[in-house]
A and B are shown apart, each in its own frame.
Chain A
Amino acid sequence: MQGTAQLILERARELMQSGQIQRVLGWEKGEFEHDPTPAFFESEEELQNFCYNDYCGANLSKYLIAASKLEGKTLVCIKPCDSYSLNQLITEHRVNREKVFVLAVPCPGMLDPVKTEGKDLSQGERKDYLLDKCLCCKGAEHKIADETIEGPSLDLAPEDRFAQVRELEALSPQERFDFWRGELSRCIRCNACRNVCPACSCVKCVFDNPNSGVSSKASADDFEENMFHIIRAFHVAGRCTDCGECSRVCPQRIPLHLLNRKFIADIDELYGEYQAGEEAEQRSPLVNYQTTDKEPSDALKGRG
């Protein structure tokens, strides 16, 4: 990782010196190794605090919405899984491609500070300490890049990301309801999931809009507690790239990504396999009518 970070820094410095980029979007060293934070670096001096280590799981693509409005180009460090989110944001005209220099960085799989806390990492396998989202790694290929930094990638057969979805589908409606009540009742409405989600990029979120009829800063009752996450899942359906950030940042460890994966599984089943963010300017099946589309009655068949 040390080597990769060095390569990124060197290239970033060069581009900054030549004036091709105005700033760098990367991760800033924290107090500890396990808490780097996404940050903009406006000068070579600021770049001294840049880091790229095992805990740089954060997806930087959403910060480019703000960067698109700034003067000049922003160099962004994009891991393979982040590249899907960036493509999706470009598709939705939320990020201006011309304002971005995409530096594709290799990813060996990122560690989960909760899993590594108090552990001796030399004991056990790296797999045991990986972020959950890395266990279903989409692969080492970047779907968008202006330039690529070579380096080690994750050597791990990805798990079936729909296994848990199928387990939940197999439950009776009551059991499934109880499962989600149990999970969602822990929600403290900190909005971290919404704020981190690259698909949640509305200029004004319905939950902040008093005229939307669903606005609320905090859950007033358990109904709202459930509905917040379900409404959010509907709003990102067909656009969610399954980057897993929602579950990663949840302080209550609610498996929010399962809601999104259920939508993805349904879309795959009804309209054929679809990966949001595979490429820019692709059309989500949910906003792309074709005469061969399933009828609504087909979609309801065999569903509880």
Chain B
Amino acid sequence: MQRIGVFVCWCGSNIAGPVDVERVAEAMKSVPGVVHSTTYQYMCSEVGQSRIMEAIKEHQLTGVVVCSCSPRMHENTFRKTAQRAGLNPYMVEIANIREQCSWIHKDKEVGTQKAIVLAKAAVAKVMLNTPLQAGTSPVIKRALVIGGGIAGIQTALDIADAGYEVDIVEKSPTIGGRMAQLDKTFPTLDCSACILTPKMVDAAQNEKIDIISYAQVEKVSGFVGNFTVTIRKKARFVDELKCTGCGACMEKCPSKKGKNEFNMGLNNRTAIYIPFAQAIPNVAVIDPEQCLKLKTGKCGLCERVCSAGAINYKQEDEVFERQYGAIVAATGFKPIDLDAFDEYGYSQSKDVVTSLEFERIMNAAGPTGGQLVRPSDGKHPHEIVFIQCVGSRDTSGCGKPYCSKICCMYTAKHAMLVRDKYPDVNVHVFYIDVRTPGKNFDEFYRRAVEQYGVDYIKGMVGKVFPEGDKLIVQGSDLINGKQLALQADMVVLAAAIEPDPSARKLATMLTASMDTNDFFTEAHPKLRPVESPTAGVFLSGVCQGPKDIPETVAQAGAAASKVIGLLAKDHLVTNPCVAQSNELLCNGCSQCERVCPYGAISYVEKEIRGPGVREVRRVAQVNPAVCQGCGACTVTCPSGAMDLQGFSNLQIMAEVDAICK
């Protein structure tokens, strides 16, 4: 006979406001099986927990229902409480009467009724709970970092520093990411490459770090502590071990029409190329779309000039598997496409550029050697207009609803750099708000306005169009209540940033969730900001949300510390709420095997003995160390042979019945 105790939490006024907690506790007393029902202000507090422990002992409870917040919040807390009082931790059920009840109901009567129903459902479920024992699984002491920008590099360096092996998988031919493309960094104006490239070299030289460049993650299986990852290393057509990065091949290559990705397509590169001087690995790569030898079979100049004999036109993609204990997503961002913002004339004039393109123009290693000239005619500009929030904070549906966070500061930086280097150039900035919440940020912005005389205009731009060799910028000046039509030589658009498109595919492989903007979701927005809800998957950098370099580096370190905490363990406690196959009912149809995202199900031929049965059948078996308890198999199984421990079909039906009665 079950003896259930019900503990209704007030959660201060969070629950007790819209729900009459005393009535809930009172109503539960008459539910069959319930022998004790009480309330307390904060059930999760030490006093609240000891009340539960005392009640378990005093009333010899066999099951506990806590009516409180979401099980995501405190299920573990109360399981440990029960365990301390000698009860199996899986004999605890949570009725979520906060997120799913008190927070969404204003009418106290409705809220109270619903809380009673939810509590009854939890009691119906706990009556069918069985004690479960958690197992353990080993931890593979190696981490994978996906993305080799500053976020990935910093995470890898920190993990390696703690003594663990770590691989960086980078999709482009070099690590460095977006930060490598930047000229100066706000608010100190130190050179981006000068602070990034030493870190790139550190990563390359660290014997614990393996940089797998020009590669992609193709498949992820397994679970926390024990992931198996398939990596595809794309053919470079250059032997990475032989190439010395001398660059002789680039000088001789006759195909010079490839868009230079590193310079945002502002100039061309050869078919065989090293993305930039400090690239790591400093190894050439052949663009098969541009290479004459690969396309037509005629040429082979690079092979002839390469003294290291590194060129290999027959190189193929290499696909291999590796095991990891933890995975860090550091997939970064890209500026949005400006197709939907044709009013700014981006497609009509070469002199309308994005901020990242402007960054390359200002960079000494960029397409113009750092000379500020117009892309259209190479002339020195005299009037430059910056437009902020292009596609950011945009609720029209064309752009992104969020603030891209970095644009206010880099626009101030650009304006200041232009005015500093070319005092003859007038700089205007159209803005909605200037957001400068960061150390020394507001001082930096004020310096741009006050010391450098940058003309900040509050208002949005309606249209940019070319007229002669000028650009006309029509916008409004909200403070002076005027419509403006400025003549500009160049227009710089602070395009919104969005997660790199590769992130969505990766999220699916990692079973990590994303928000509506394709940023990875944290396990908890405040308390677990660098962990994904999928155990063993961590988040670093802009893939989780817009952030600047110092924030990215801080988060990268935080993600690394979480990884180190995981890899430091020899074993992990596994979740006992896993699927189990009733072999007497199993058809061996393989549907569950196909639907299992973790590869936890296999089949065996087995002699089945049951009432009136003795035959060899093909039956499903679940590897409890691999199963994550998602339940996909249980709903796929036509005969109901698959069941989830702790969430059995009967338990769920009992809950539904309790709610519908």
Contacts and interface: CB of A to CB of B under 8 A. Distances in A.
Contact of A204 (B585, B603, B615, B649): B585
A206 interface: yes
A213 B653 contact: yes
Contact of A213 (B505, B594, B649): B649
Interface stretch (A98-106, A266-274, A281-289): A281-289
B315 interface: no
B588 A205 contact: no
Of B505, B588, B591, B636, which is in contact with the most chain A CB atoms at under 10 Å from its CB? B591
Contact of A212 (B586, B597, B603, B649): B649
Contacts of B234: none
Given A213-B649, A288-B594, A206 B640 contact: yes
Contacts of A204: 584-585, 639
Contacts, number: 59
Interface in A36-62: none
Contacts of B588: 92-94
A289 B639 contact: no
Contacts of A286: 636
Interface string A283-304: 1101111010000000000000
Given A94-B589, A201-B587, A204-B584, A211 B639 contact: no
B595 interface: yes
A272 to B, nearest CB: 18
Interface string A182-213: 00000000000000000001111110010111
Interface string A83-118: 000000001111000000000000000000000000
Contacts of A203: 584-587, 617, 639
Contacts of B594: 283, 287-288
B628 to A, nearest CB: 15
A94 B594 CA distance: 16
B639 A202 contact: yes
A44 B49 CA distance: 79
A132 B501 CA distance: 50
A176 interface: no
B587 A94 contact: yes
Contacts of A236: 638
Contact of B640 (A69, A92, A212): A212
Contacts of A253: none
B30 interface: no
A291 B508 contact: yes
B590 A69 contact: no
A235 interface: yes
B618 interface: yes
B591 A287 contact: yes
Contacts of B591: 92, 284, 287
B650 A93 contact: no
Interface in B573-613: 584-591, 594-595, 597, 603
A69 B595 CA distance: 27
B575 to A, nearest CB: 22
Contact of A92 (B504, B508, B590, B597): B590
Given A204-B639, A289-B597, A209 B585 contact: yes
Nearest to B585: A204
A93 B597 contact: no
Interface in B485-521: 504-505, 508
Interface in B636-657: 636, 638-640, 649-650, 653
Contacts of B504: 291
A92 B585 contact: no
Nearest to A281: B590
A165 B595 CA distance: 28
A287 B635 CA distance: 11
A238 B586 CA distance: 19
A94 to B, nearest CB: 7
B615 A92 contact: no
B587 A92 contact: yes
Contacts of B585: 202-204, 209
A138 B560 CA distance: 59
B230 to A, nearest CB: 15
Contact of B650 (A213, A284, A289): A213
A287 B636 contact: yes
B505 to A, nearest CB: 6
Contacts of A209: 585, 639-640
A270 B42 CA distance: 48
B58 to A, nearest CB: 35
A236 B589 CA distance: 12
A213 B643 CA distance: 13
Contacts of A205: 639
Nearest to B509: A291
Of A201, A209, A286, A287, which is in contact with the most chain B CB atoms at under 10 Å from its CB? A287
A235 B638 CA distance: 5
Contacts of B584: 203-204
Contacts of B587: 92-94, 201-203
Contacts of A235: 638
A209 B589 CA distance: 18
Interface string A57-71: 000000000000100
Contacts of B618: 93
A278 B617 CA distance: 26
A113 B617 CA distance: 39
Given A93-B590, A94-B587, A204-B584, A287 B639 contact: no
A50 B504 CA distance: 60
A202 B649 contact: no
14 contacts: A69-B615, A93-B588, A93-B589, A93-B618, A203-B585, A203-B617, A205-B639, A206-B638, A209-B639, A211-B640, A212-B640, A287-B591, A289-B595, A291-B505
Given A211-B650, A289-B595, 13 more contacts: A69-B615, A203-B587, A204-B639, A205-B639, A206-B638, A211-B640, A212-B640, A283-B594, A286-B636, A287-B591, A288-B594, A291-B505, A291-B508
Which 7 pairs show the lowest CB-CB distances between chains A and B? A202-B639, A92-B589, A287-B594, A287-B595, A235-B638, A213-B653, A93-B588
Interface of B: 504-505, 508, 584-591, 594-595, 597, 603, 615, 617-618, 636, 638-640, 649-650, 653
